[in-house]
Amino acid sequence: MSRQPAKVLEPDDVRLALVHVGIQRHPARNRAMILLSFKAGLRACEIAGLTWPMILATDGSIAVHISVAGSIAKYGSGRQIPINRTLRTALLALHKSEGYPDRGPVIRSERSTAMQPGAVVNWFSATYRALGMVGCSSHSGRRTFITRAARLLPKTGGSLRDVQEPAGHRSIGTTERYIQGDRDAQHKLIRLI
């Protein structure tokens, strides 16, 4: 029996998650975790391994790209991901709350050490469970990011390659498997047949 892929969330679901984590301990860290998943498409291991030099420009400000090092990426697929405006705001707030560090982990555990990938996976699971979101996992943000990016391609003049590269996939076929079809568009299409 094959496992179901992580669910793609709607914008209202993401907003609900952001409100939920905003009232917990470590709101700046938690908001950044959600947005690193949904607005940059990072995997749990990449969120856990992200360090400030991968996010900061040479002058110490938040850079325009996240430079995902091959050492933290699956299959060593290091890459640069443009930083979304909402994510930038969250990273600025986290950077400030942490005392403007120039090194060390971006996402810290309760003990101020780097959060382990398994802890990131568990954190997302607990967050979705608390919200009653069934079928969601740490991979939901990544699938949502890839699906939304693919759907927005016609507005940008880009190609599926422009989704594949920030996703860090070796093959466009892998990227295609992440994209959830648009159910409304499918219903409209079937009505026209």
Structure tokens at 154: 């016609």
User: With contact defined as beta carbons under 8 Å apart, do 54 and 60 qualify?
Assistant: no
pLDDT band for position 190 (cuts 50, 70, 90): low
User: With contact defined as beta carbons under 8 Å apart, do 82 and 64 qualify?
Assistant: yes
pLDDT in tens, 100-133: 999 999 999 988 899 999 999 999 999 999 999 9
Name the residue among 101, 121, 95, 155 with its Cα closest to residue 42.
Answer: 121
| Per-residue confidence (pLDDT) for residue 116, from 0 to 100 | 95
More confident residue, 187 or 145: 145
pLDDT in tens, 67-91: 999 999 988 878 999 999 999 999 9
| Per-residue confidence (pLDDT) for residue 186, from 0 to 100 | 67
Angle between helices 85-97 and 27-38 (to 10 degrees): 150
User: With contact defined as beta carbons under 8 Å apart, do 5 and 140 qualify?
Assistant: no
pLDDT in tens, 136-172: 999 999 999 888 888 888 888 888 788 888 877 787 7
**C-alpha dihedral sign at 68, 114, 63, 33:** positive
SS3 state of residue 108: strand
Q: What is the pTM of this model?
A: 0.88
